[in-house]
Structure 1
Amino acid sequence: MAMRELRIHGVGGSPGAELLGLDDPAETTLIRGDRSTQLIARREDPSVEGYLWGGLTSGSALQPLWVLLLPFTLVNVAGWAHGARIARWRWMLIRGVVHLAAGLLTSTYVLWTAIIAVDYLGYQALREADLPVGPAIGVPAGLVATLALVVVLLRVAEVGRRRFEARTPDGTAVPEEEAPAEWHPEEDLSSRSFFSHGRSMTWLLRWHAAVLGATGVVVLVVAGLRWGSTTLGLGEIFLVIGLLQILVIVLLAGLTWRGGGQPAGAPVPRALPAVAVTLVVALTNGVFSGLTLLAARAAGMGPGRWGQELALVESFVITVVLWVLLVIGWLLFWRARGRADELPEHVEDQLRRRTAAWRGMALGAHRAPVLLPGMVLVGVAVVWLSMRLRMLRRTVAIIWDVLTFWPRRFHPLAVRPYSSRAVLEFQAGIRHGIREDGGVVVSAYSQGSAIAYAALAPLPQEEVSRVCLLSIGAPTTTLYAQVFPAYFGELSLQRTHERLAAGTGGWRNLYRRTDPIGGPVLGAAEGHAEVDQEVPDPAEEAGSAPEGETPVPLETPREPWSDLAGHVDYRREQAYRDAVAEFRTRLG
C-alpha cells in the first residue's frame, strides 16, 4: 500500500467525493464521522483519504441567523489581529481595550433592543394610541422582549462552549473542572491547548452577563426617571456609549498603528484591530438604527418624535456607497496593471488579455489587507444585500469560514469557531497516519492549509519530521500572515518549514499568479526557495498520470493553452502529481 495522502478542503461547505477526485459518492468509503465532519477514503485506493469539515460551517439550520452575531465575531477577530514582536505591556493593553470594546458592543445590543421594544413601541406608541393597553403594560412587555434576547444570546453561547471550546487537545469533550487551564496571552498555535479553553469561555460569559445586567439596570433607572415625559430618553444612553466606542477606537488605533512580523516584502496593514472595531460599531448602530426607524414608522410616529440615535441612517448609507466605489476602483486599477507579455506568440490575444487581467486582479487581492482601513463600512452593504442575493449569501458564508477560525477569547457571543473541532480532528488524522504508516502526505487546499498549519504547529518534532505538507492555493501569506502576523508571521512560517525539513518530511506550496487567494508562503527567502513553486496558468504542456495509475475523473490533466484556472483545479496539475509522488517516495 502506498504512503497515505490525507487531504483537506477549503471554504464553502463539504465537497464530498470531489475532494478525492471522484464524481460518484458510491466510490468512497466512510471511515468515521457524523453529519458535521467526516473522514472518507477512495474505495479502490484507500491510501487517499479526505477530511470533510464543511458541515461545521454550512450544516446548521440556524446559519441564516449568524448575521446577528457578525459584529460579535468581528470584535473577537480584532483581538487576534495585532502585530508580532511588540512589547508585552502594549500587547496586554491592546487586548484589554478589545475586551472593553466587546463589553460596549454587548451593552449596545441590549440598549438598541430596549429603545425599540421599551421606548418606541412599549411607551411612545401606546401612550399616543387610543387603546386600552397603555405604557403600564407595554413597557413591561418590552422589558420581557429585551430580556428574552439576552437569554437567547447567552444560551446559544453556552451551548457552543460545551460543543466546541470545552474539548481536550485530542478532541474529546470533558467536564469544565477537568478542562485545560485558562488561556494566557503568550500562547500561540504551538500550544496544544490553544483551541481548548472552556474555562476562559466561562469567564467571558460571566463578564458579559454582568455587562448585560448592568445595562438593564441603567435602562430601568432612566425609564423610571423619565416616566411621564414625551419619551423615555433611552437614546441618550446610546449617545454616551457611542462616545466611549469612539474613544476606544482612537486608543486602539494608536496602539496598533505599528504592526510587525509580516513576511519580507508583504504589505503591512495598520491599525487592523481598530478597523475591525470601527466596522463593528458601524454594522451594529447602522442596522439597529434602520430597524428602529422601521419600528417608529410602523407605530405611526412622525419624524418629530424620533430620537438623536436615528441621525446615523443617512450618513451611514452614503458612506457605504462611497466605499463600494473605492473597492471597484481598486480592482480596476490593479486589473490594468496585469501583464502576460512572456506568453508564447501562438497564444490567442483573448487568452493573453484574460491572463493579464486575472494576474492583475490577483495581485490587487493579495494587497487588499492594506485597503482594509478604507473598507470599514463595505461589510454593511454586504450583510444587507445577502438577504436578497443567493450567490452573495454563499460569499458571506465563505467570509465567515475565515472569520470563525479564531477561538472566542474576546467575545463569547461570536459565531462558534469550527477550528476547535476541525484542527483537533485533523491533527488526530495526521497522528494516526504517522502511527500506521510511519509518515503521511498532507494535501491542504485554500483555507484547509490554515487548518493543517495549526494542526502541525503543536506536534512534537519526532512526528512533524515524518510529515510532508503540500499546500495549494494557500492564503497563508496573502491573508493570514498580513492580518494575523503574531500567529502566521514570518518567524512562524520559517520555523514550520525548518521543523518539516528537519527529518524526512518537507513543505511544497503550489500557487498561480492568476489566483486571487493563494500565493507564495516563503518566497525567495534564503534557504527556503524550494518551498514555493509557481504553476503556469494557462497550462503550458499536457500532464500525465503516474506510471501504472489511471487518473480519477475529476483530476485528469489540464489541456495546455485552453483556459485559466485561477484558484481551482490544482489537483489537475502535473506539479501536484509530481509533488505527491516525490513525498511518498521520500517518506517511504
Structure 2
Amino acid sequence: MELLVHGVGGTTPQKMLGDPRTVRITGDDTAAIFRRAEDVHAEDVHAEAVHTGDVHAQIRPGGHRDGPVREAYVWCNLTSGDSTRALWLLLLPFMVVNLAHWMRPAAPGRPRAVRLYGLLVRLTALTLTVLLVAAACEVALDLVAWQCAGTAACAGRHSWLAFLTPGATGGPWWSAPGRRLALAAVAPAALTALLWYLSHRTWSAYESHQPMARDPEPDPDGSALARPGFWYGRRLVARLRAAHTAAGLLTVAAAVTAPAARFDHRTGGPAALDALSWALTAALGAGALAVTGVVCRRGRSERSPDRTLDRRLVRLLPLGALAVLLLALLYAGWSRPGWRSAGRLPGDAAFGTLMLVQGLLVVVLGAVAHRLYRRDPDPRAGMRGLGGPAVALLACALGGVISGGLAQRVADWLDGTRAGLDGPALLLTWQASTIPPVLAVLLVLAAVLAVRTARRSRAERVRVRQEHPGEPEYPARTRAIAHARAMATLTDRAPLVVTVLSAATLLLGAAALSGALATGRTPDGAARRTFTAVQGVAETSQALGSWLVGLGFLTFVTWGRRAYKDASARRTIGILWDVGTFWPRAAHPFAPPCYAERAVPDLTWRMATWTERTGGRLVLSGHSQGSVLAAAAAWQLTPSVRRRVALLTYGSPLERLYGRWFPAHFGPPALSALHREIACWRNLYRRTDPIGGPVRLPDDHGPDVDHAPLKDPLAYGRTAEHPLPAPVLGHSDYQADPVFARVRGRLLARLHPELPAQRPEPEPPG
C-alpha cells in the first residue's frame, strides 16, 4: 500500500488519487483517509486470491491493476476548514513564543540545562500574557474610563461616555472614578475569558486524541518525537491555561486596585478601606506567586502519555483569581468623596518593569542556548543555536508593538488634538514610535536581498545555458528558470533576516525604555536642545506608528471578514499555521492548537492496524509539510512496524527548515536514526523549490537518501514529448515527473519483491 500525505494548503482526495471516484474509508469531516472506489475492498480480493492460489492477484491486490493500493490522508481542514480559524490571527504573538520552546539546540546529556531552557521560555510566555492584558487595561481603564470619561471636552465628543462623565453637582452614580474603573475592567476581563475560551474550545478537537499505547524506547541519538507521550500534552496545556487565565485576571485586578489604594493611602481614608487595600495587595502577591509556581513546577512529560489531569488546580486557580478580581471591583467602587480623575493612571513603572523582565529573560535564555550549542555544535543550525532566544525576543517585540500601537491609536481616536488627554503610558508611546524604524529596517533588508537575488539570477542564467548545450537559446525562458532558482534560495536567507530583526528589536527596545525613563526630566543647556530634537523625532515617529497600526488593524479586519466568508482566503490563512502550529503548546496555552496532535495519531493508527491486519508493507509518501507529518508518524510506530515502512519524501522541508531551526528534534542525529530504523528512504527535490531541499544525511549512514535534483522544467525548449513549453513547477506536481514513478517503483522493490499474503482470519471458537 502507498499512503499519501499532502502538504501545505491542502488538496482534494480526487486530485491526490487521480480519480474522480473516491470513498472515505475512515475518519471524519476534519481529517480522513480516502481510496479509489474500485480499491475499497482490495484486501478482500487479495485474501480470496490466497485461498484460490491466484498468484497474480497476490502480487496485485486488486487483481486488475499494477502497483500498490493507494490511500490519501486529507488533513487540510485541521488548519483551514473552519471560518473561526480567522480568529487565530489574534494569537500570533503566542504562537511565535511557543515556537521558541522547540528551537533549542540539541544537547544530549544535559537534562538540567534543557529543563532550564524550557522554564525560561514558559516564563517569557507568561510575561507576554500579562503584557497584552495590561495593554487592554491601559486602553479601557486609563484612556477611556479615567482620562476621556473624566474630561468634559473628550466625553462631549463621544456621547456613549455621557453616563460616565461627572458633572458640576456630582453626576450619575457611575461617574465616580472607582466605579468607572470597575465598569471598564469588564473589557480586559472579557479578553482574558476569550483567550481561555479559544484555548479550551480545541481541547476535544485536538488534545484528546490519544496516541497508540506502546513501550518507550531508548533514544540517546534519536529524536524525542519517538517518545510515546510526545503528541499528548493535555495535562501541561491544562495547567498552563489555568495559570495564564489566572495571571490575566490578576492583572486586571491589580489595574483596578492600584489607583484606589494610592488615593486611600494618600488621604488617610477609612480604616476598613485601608485594611481591605492591604488585604487585596497580599492576595495579588499570593496569586502571582501561585501562578509563577505552577508555570515553574512542571514541563512536558514525554516518556509516556500523561493522562492524569490536575482538575483541582485547573479549577481553583482561575476561580481564586476571579474572586480576587470581584473583590477588587467592590473595593474600587466604594464611595470616596473628593476623588477626581486627573493625569494618567500609574502604569509607567509596571510596563517598564515588565519590559525589563522580558529583556533579562531573553538574555539568560540566549546564554543557556549558547551553552547547549557548544555541547554539540551543528554548523547548519540556524543562528548557531540562538534561533530560540531570537524568536522569543521577536514575540515580546510583537506583543509590545501591538500594545503600544493600539494604545496610541485609541488615544488619537479619543482626542485627535492630543490637547485634552495625557495619552497612554510613556513606554507604550515610545514602543509605538519603534514601528517606523522597524519597517525601515525591513525595507533596507528587502533591498539587500533583492540585490543579492538579482546577482544570483544572473549567475544562474549561465548555468542554465550550460545545462542545455546544442539547443536554441530562448532568453526569456532562461531568465524565468534562473529567476525561479534564485528566488528559491531566499529561504536559506532566513537566519540573516531573523538576526537583523532581532538585533534591531533589541536596540530599539532599549531606546524605547531609555526614552520613556528620560521623558519628564528637564535637562539643561545643550542637553536640552538635543533632548528636544530627539523628542520631536520621536513624536513624529509615534504619530506615524499610530497610523500604521490603524492601517494594520483595518487590514486585519478585512482579511478576517474575507476569511470568514471565503474558503480560499481561509485556506491561505491556514497555510500560515501549517508551519507555526505543527508543534504542541508547550510554552503558551493560548497559542493556536497543534494539528499534529490529531494528524500523527491518525497516521500511526492507520499504519499499525493495516500492517497488523494484513501483514503487508507500505510506502509512506509525503509532500512538503506532509513529509514532516510522515516522519513524525514513522517515529511513533513500534520498531517491528517501522521496519515494514518505506519513506518517500518530496518537496520536503525536513532538513532545510526543521533541521536547521529545530535541531534538537530534526537535526542530523535524529534524521540519521530514522533512516536506520525504517526499511528505506528516498527524497526528491528541485533547485527551483523554495521549500523543499535535500536531507543531507552524513555519508556513513548507508545508501544516500537524496536523489539528484529533478529537472525543472522537464524540457528547456519544445520537444516531441513537450510540444508546448513545460512549466516551471517549483514546489508543486512532483508526481508529474517521470523520476517519481521510477523512484517509487524502486522503493517497492526494495521493500519486498512481492506483497505478502493476507493473514488468515482466526477460526471462531468451538
TM-score over 0.5 for the pair: yes
The answer to whether the 8 A contact 1:262-1:490 is kept is no
Q: Deviations over 1:379-417 (max 9, x none)?
A: x99976565567998655322210100001111110011
Task: Tell me what 1:514 maps to.
Answer: 688
Task: Tell me what 2:90 maps to.
Answer: 68
The answer to whether the 8 A contact 1:6-1:442 is kept is yes
The answer to whether the 8 A contact 1:269-1:483 is kept is no
Shift of 1:506: 0.8
Using the TM superposition, name which of 343-352 and 566-575 deviates more: 343-352
Does residue 1:144 correspond to 2:186, yes or no? yes
Paired with 1:424 and 1:539, the residues of 2 have a C-alpha distance of: 37
Greater share of helix: 2
Amino acid of the structure 2 residue aligned with 1:355: I
Amino acid of the structure 1 residue aligned with 2:146: Y
Task: Tell me what 1:570 maps to.
Answer: 734
Paired with 2:592 and 2:642, the residues of 1 have a C-alpha distance of: 31
Shift of 1:514: 1.0
1:359 equivalent among 476, 485, 489: 485
Task: Tell me what 2:149 maps to.
Answer: 126
Does residue 1:430 correspond to 2:556, yes or no? no
Structure-2 change in CA distance of 1:387 and 1:521 (3 Å): farther
Structure-2 change in CA distance of 1:137 and 1:471 (3 Å): same
Using the TM superposition, name which of 60-69 and 407-416 deviates more: 60-69
Does residue 1:223 correspond to 2:259, yes or no? yes
2:440 equivalent among 321, 328, 335: 321
Task: Tell me what 1:464 maps to.
Answer: 642
Amino acid of the structure 1 residue aligned with 2:498: L
Structure-2 change in CA distance of 1:108 and 1:265 (3 Å): closer
Long gaps (5+) in structure 1: 172-179, 181-185, 543-556
Amino acid of the structure 2 residue aligned with 1:535: L
Amino acid of the structure 1 residue aligned with 2:688: T
The answer to whether the 8 A contact 1:263-1:481 is kept is no
Amino acid of the structure 1 residue aligned with 2:714: A
Shift of 1:584: 2.7
Does residue 1:272 correspond to 2:387, yes or no? yes
2:198 equivalent among 147, 156, 161: 156
Task: Tell me what 2:75 maps to.
Answer: 53
TM-score by length of 2: 0.67
Q: Deviations over 1:481-536 (max 9, x none)?
A: 00000000000000101111xxxx31010001111100001356234553111211
Trace 1:573-584 onto structure 2 (pairs within 5 A).
573-584=737-748
Does residue 1:410 correspond to 2:580, yes or no? no
Task: Tell me what 2:36 maps to.
Answer: 42
Paired with 1:101 and 1:541, the residues of 2 have a C-alpha distance of: 52
Where 2:681 maps in the other structure, the secondary structure is strand
Trace 1:517-532 onto structure 2 (pairs within 5 A).
517-522=691-696, 525-532=699-706
Shift of 1:11: 1.1
Trace 1:333-352 onto structure 2 (pairs within 5 A).
333-338=452-457, 339=460, 340-341=463-464, 342-345=466-469, 346=471, 347-352=473-478
Shift of 1:541: 9.6
Task: Tell me what 2:522 maps to.
Answer: none
Using the TM superposition, name which of 562-571 and 424-433 deviates more: 424-433
The answer to whether the 8 A contact 1:17-1:28 is kept is yes
Paired with 2:178 and 2:85, the residues of 1 have a C-alpha distance of: 37
1:165 equivalent among 189, 196, 207: 207
Using the TM superposition, name which of 284-293 and 86-95 deviates more: 86-95
Task: Tell me what 1:197 maps to.
Answer: 233
Number of aligned residue pairs: 550
Using the TM superposition, name which of 479-488 and 89-98 deviates more: 89-98
Does residue 1:116 correspond to 2:139, yes or no? yes
Structure-2 change in CA distance of 1:247 and 1:6 (3 Å): same
The answer to whether the 8 A contact 2:23-2:35 is kept is yes
The answer to whether the 8 A contact 1:386-1:393 is kept is no
Q: Deviations over 1:107-128 (max 9, x none)?
A: 1121011111111111111101
Paired with 1:288 and 1:437, the residues of 2 have a C-alpha distance of: 58
Paired with 1:529 and 1:327, the residues of 2 have a C-alpha distance of: 40
Does residue 1:91 correspond to 2:114, yes or no? yes
Does residue 1:252 correspond to 2:365, yes or no? yes
Paired with 1:328 and 1:393, the residues of 2 have a C-alpha distance of: 30
The answer to whether the 8 A contact 2:715-2:726 is kept is no
Paired with 1:262 and 1:454, the residues of 2 have a C-alpha distance of: 24
Task: Tell me what 1:400 maps to.
Answer: 577
Task: Tell me what 2:7 maps to.
Answer: 10
Shift of 1:372: 1.7
Does residue 1:241 correspond to 2:263, yes or no? no
Q: Deviations over 1:451-484 (max 9, x none)?
A: 1111111212211111111001000011000000
Amino acid of the structure 2 residue aligned with 1:314: S
Trace 1:98-113 onto structure 2 (pairs within 5 A).
98-113=121-136
Task: Tell me what 2:268 maps to.
Answer: none
The answer to whether the 8 A contact 1:101-1:248 is kept is yes
Amino acid of the structure 2 residue aligned with 1:325: V
Task: Tell me what 2:272 maps to.
Answer: none
Identity %: 29
TM-score by length of 1: 0.86
Where 1:411 maps in the other structure, the secondary structure is coil
Trace 1:490-505 onto structure 2 (pairs within 5 A).
490-500=668-678, 505=679
Shift of 1:324: 3.6
Where 1:189 maps in the other structure, the secondary structure is helix
Shift of 1:295: 1.9
The answer to whether the 8 A contact 1:165-1:420 is kept is yes
Long gaps (5+) in structure 2: 41-68, 157-161, 165-174, 217-221, 264-339, 506-547, 563-567, 756-766
Task: Tell me what 1:549 maps to.
Answer: none
Structure-2 change in CA distance of 1:254 and 1:558 (3 Å): farther
Q: Deviations over 1:46-67 (max 9, x none)?
A: 5211001110100122111111
Paired with 2:379 and 2:724, the residues of 1 have a C-alpha distance of: 34
Structure-2 change in CA distance of 1:21 and 1:324 (3 Å): farther
Trace 1:15-26 onto structure 2 (pairs within 5 A).
15-22=12-19, 24=20
Shift of 1:564: 1.3
Structure-2 change in CA distance of 1:495 and 1:274 (3 Å): same
Where 1:127 maps in the other structure, the secondary structure is coil
The answer to whether the 8 A contact 2:95-2:588 is kept is yes
Shift of 1:225: 3.5
Does residue 1:536 correspond to 2:651, yes or no? no
Report the RMSD for the aligned CA atoms in angstroms: 2.9
Structure-2 change in CA distance of 1:163 and 1:353 (3 Å): same
Amino acid of the structure 2 residue aligned with 1:465: R
Task: Tell which structure's C-alpha radius of gyration is larger.
Answer: 2
Q: Deviations over 1:69-122 (max 9, x none)?
A: 111111111111010026333222211111110110111121011111111111
